[in-house]
Amino acid sequence: MNACKDGVPNGRLVGLTGGAGSGKTEAAKRFEAHGLPVIYADRVGHELLAPGGEAVEAIAAVFGDVASPDGGIDRRKVGALVFADERALARLNAITHPLIYRNIARKARELGRQGERLIIVDAALIGEDGVRPKCLWGLILIDTPREERVRRLMASRGWTHDEAARRIDAQTPPETKRVLADWVLENTGPLEAFHHAVDALAHELMHGSAQEREE
């Protein structure tokens, strides 16, 4: 992920990554509850596929009849095409990823100009190429066993086992990102325990940032 290659004025970027169903977004919401701003890559991607979005025309040109009734892109139709076909997924990523990176960079710069000193970027695509982005000050990995992630996606999104497994297997195995991460939070037990771990890390990040401002 090459977002924010131009830097963030007065701020630091902390990446938050993990595979589908890992609890990454749950962690992001918890960080937000502590007052840390979060940029959600998924939301940026959805904006690109909404009516009038930057990626709509290019995706329709490549994949054909994938429009939604409102003139955007039907994400379920596209998903059915690309998560069973590596080459199709690569074509989709070639369209969307540069736009996602650019919009994340823009949002991060805006937050930096507003005086935010620490910004969380929630993005599953961080480290997908095995490289840690140079713009990141820190990287958090949420790690959860594959079968638990499959069960969660089936429950939360109504997918079949095969649909959930294909979505997971289209991503880089999260355990390979451990070498890139500064913090690894295991999400294998009760939700309360996971919240406690995220809260402790939020305190560490915020306390360290505040201490540095005083020095």
pLDDT tens by residue, the chain, 215 residues: 444 544 555 568 999 999 999 999 999 999 999 999 999 999 999 999 999 999 999 999 999 999 999 999 999 899 889 987 889 999 999 999 999 989 999 999 999 889 898 999 999 989 988 899 888 999 999 999 999 999 999 999 999 999 899 889 888 898 899 999 999 999 998 999 999 999 999 999 988 754 454 44
Q: Rounded CA gap, 172 and 54, in Å?
A: 26
Structure tokens at 180: 């890139």
The pTM score is: 0.86
Residue pLDDT, tens place only, 152-211: 999 999 999 998 998 898 888 988 999 999 999 999 989 999 999 999 999 999 887 544
User: Edge to edge, what strands does the sheet with 136-143 contain?
Assistant: 38-40, 118-122, 12-17, 136-143, 183-186
Number of Cβ within a 10 Å radius of residue 208: 13
- CA distance between the termini of the chain: 31
Domain ranges of the chain: 12-210
The CATH classification number of 12-210 equals: 3.40.50.300
By the 8 A CB rule, do 8 and 111 touch? yes
pLDDT reported for residue 83: 81
Cα 184 to Cα 10, 27, 44, 45, 134: the distances in Å are: 26, 12, 25, 25, 19
pLDDT reported for residue 10: 56
